[in-house]
Structure 1
Amino acid sequence: MNFTFFGHACFSVNFGDTTILFDPFISPNSLAKEVDMAAIKADYIFVSHGHGDHVADLIALAKQTQATVVSNFEIIDWVTKQGYEKVHPMNFGTKTFDFGKVHFVPAAHSSALPDGSYGGNPGGFLIKTREGSFYYTGDTSLTAEFTMIPKYGSPDFAIMPIGGNFTMDVDDAVIAAEMIGCKQIVGVHYDTFGYIVINKDAAQAAFQASGATLLLPKIGETITVK
């Protein structure tokens, strides 16, 4: 699978003929100013929750890519009110799409949309495909919900916030990785704001000490994750 990082918690995963974009937040992010948004392609856009640093470019990129937007019911309702109707609403549960199976699972966070309306329950996505499986936790604190993930199967890799303050920090993410039984973690949601700046070398060392690997691709970089 190919993972492309667009900064903060925005990334895409490409597998087979499918590309899924997650939590589009690029244009307001000064660290991502070199990203060419016009070149971004996606078949689906998955949204973990409604905060502005996860949906700022959602409508623009949905219209550009003509992707199907997948999220909780309340966010999908907001998306349709913005004039975009190629959507699929979910709540916590399981759905089989043409590319594989999606488990929409709880995250311990909050959610409100940019206009102040209710953003529904924040969540994460465990995605199983013919090419492998991966888990995006969404914005979350360390939570007992992670103990449920192995019931669905062990993801080949997981994408987790590591910046602390609003979400898990590095130490919490190390524990979360152990809870879900995953040794390959891609870190997101760090360095964008002063509250969440981290020491990247120390973060990778902490994961290494636990027997796991923390991948920190540069903004705009594509890596292969197996």
Structure 2
Amino acid sequence: MKITFFSHSTYMIEIHGIFLLVDPFFYGNPLFKKDSKLLNRCIKYFKRIDYILLTHAHYDHVCDTELFANKFGSLVISNYEISNFFEKKKLKTYGINYGSFISFPFGRLKYVWATHSSVFDDGTYGGNPGGFLLQTKDKKNIYLSGDTSLTYEMKLIPSFGTLKISILPIGGVYTMGVEEAIIASDFLQCKKVLGVHYDTFEAIKIDKKKAKEKFYEKNKELFLLKIGDTMCI
């Protein structure tokens, strides 16, 4: 399994040749507005996108959904309200909610609690925000928290199996910061964390060196990938 990071909360998960794009945010992303060549390199990376996973309806998580879904014929997976929104735009969707695991060719997926908000740019209600618990056939389980503050609900996640890695926001202000993410990793019983949702905007800029040091002091590892970098799980 591979995870390729594209800034903010956008990343691609490759599982046995199946590609899942999470929360696509490219053309409205201020990091790419500053560097169009970097944007073009990222877009050229995509040869196929089988699924698009959306955690909530905020613009910085859904703005390029139609672009990629139409280009690659991707299946959009999200909560009922977001799925219904994009179904009306003639995209292929699969609406879910907080509930059971659902089986897909890449593994099993469960929509889980997130403490945040969820509304489209035009004011349309985006349903309950969430994250995803992904279980692969080779038992490489990943928790994709989405945008969230620290919540006691995270303590339930390990009851569904040991996590290989958790993907958590660390920028603060709108989501957890570094300190809360460390506590979250305790709740999740997971020592490896891929940090997301930082540095994209002025309000969520962090000191990356200090963030890694804080995780290290707690005997944990924080991965902060550069745009386009890949890690193997």
Aligned-pair distance for 1:51?
0.1
What aligned pairs does 1:85-100 form with structure 2 within 5 A after superposition?
86-93=92-99, 94-100=101-107
Equivalent residue for 1:83, pick from 81, 90, 93: 90
Q: What is the alpha-carbon distance in structure 2 between the residues aligned to residue 16 and residue 144 of structure 1?
A: 33
Q: Select which of 120, 127, 151 maps to 2:127.
A: 120
C-alpha distance in 1 between matches for 2:156 and 2:73: 33
Query: In the alignment, which residue of structure 1 is the partner of 2:61?
Result: 54
Question: Once the two structures are superposed, what CA deviation does each residue of 1:93-113 show, in whole Å capped at 9, x if it has no partner?
Answer: 221112211111010000001
Aligned partner of 1:11 in structure 2 is: 11
Amino acid at match of 1:124: G
Distance 2:44 2:227 in 1: 16
- Structure 2 unpaired stretches of 5+: none
1:104 corresponds to which residue?
111
Q: Give the whole-Å Cα distance in 1 for the aligned partners of 2:94 and 2:210.
A: 40
User: C-alpha distance in 2, partners of 1:82/1:184?
Assistant: 38
- Residue by residue over 1:46-82, the C-alpha shift from the partner in whole angstroms, topping out at 9 and shown as x without a partner, is 0000000000101101111211100000001110122
Q: Quick one: distance in 1 between partners of 2:28 and 2:230?
A: 21
Aligned residues: 224
How far, CA to CA, are the matches of 2:25 and 2:136 in structure 1?
Answer: 25
1:1-226 mapped onto 2 (5 Å cutoff): 1-32=1-32, 33=36, 34-35=38-39, 36-40=42-46, 41-84=48-91, 86-93=92-99, 94-131=101-138, 132-224=140-232, 226=233
Using the TM superposition, give the Cα deviation of residue 42 of structure 1 relative to its aligned residue in structure 2, in angstroms: 1.4
Q: What is the CA-CA distance between 1:155 and the residue it aligns to?
A: 1.2
Query: Per-residue deviation at 1:29?
Result: 1.2
Question: Does the CA-based 8 Å contact 2:30-2:201 persist in structure 1?
Answer: no
SS at 2:167's partner residue? strand
Give yes or no for contact 2:20–2:51 (8 Å, CA) kept in 1: yes
Cα distance in 2 for residues equivalent to 1:184 and 1:163:
17
Q: How well do the aligned residues superpose, as a CA RMSD in angstroms?
A: 1.1
Q: TM-score, normalised by structure 1?
A: 0.96
> Take 1:110 and 1:154, find their aligned partners in 2: how far apart are those partners?
28
The structural deviation recorded for 1:130 is 2.0
d(CA) in 1 for partners of 2:172, 2:115: 13
Distance 1:193 1:30 in 2: 7
Letter in 1 for 2:178: V
Secondary structure (helix, strand or coil) at the match of 1:109 reads: coil
Q: What is the CA–CA distance in structure 2 between the aligned matches of 1:39 and 1:187, rounded to whole Å?
A: 21
Cα deviation, 1:190-226, whole Å, max 9, x if unaligned, reads 00111100000000001111111000010111122x2
Q: Deviation above 3 Å: which 4+ runs of structure 1?
A: none
Please say if residues 84 and 93 of structure 2, whose CA atoms lie closer than 8 Å, have aligned partners that are also in contact. no
Mapped contact 2:83–2:94 kept (Cα < 8 A): yes
Deviation at 1:38, TM superposition (A): 4.3
- 1:150: how far off? 1.0
Query: Which amino acid letter does the alignment assign opposite residue 7 of structure 1?
Result: S
Give the whole-Å Cα distance in 2 for the aligned partners of 1:184 and 1:27: 30
SS in 2 for 1:120: coil
Q: What secondary structure is seen at the aligned counterpart in 2 of 1:150?
A: helix
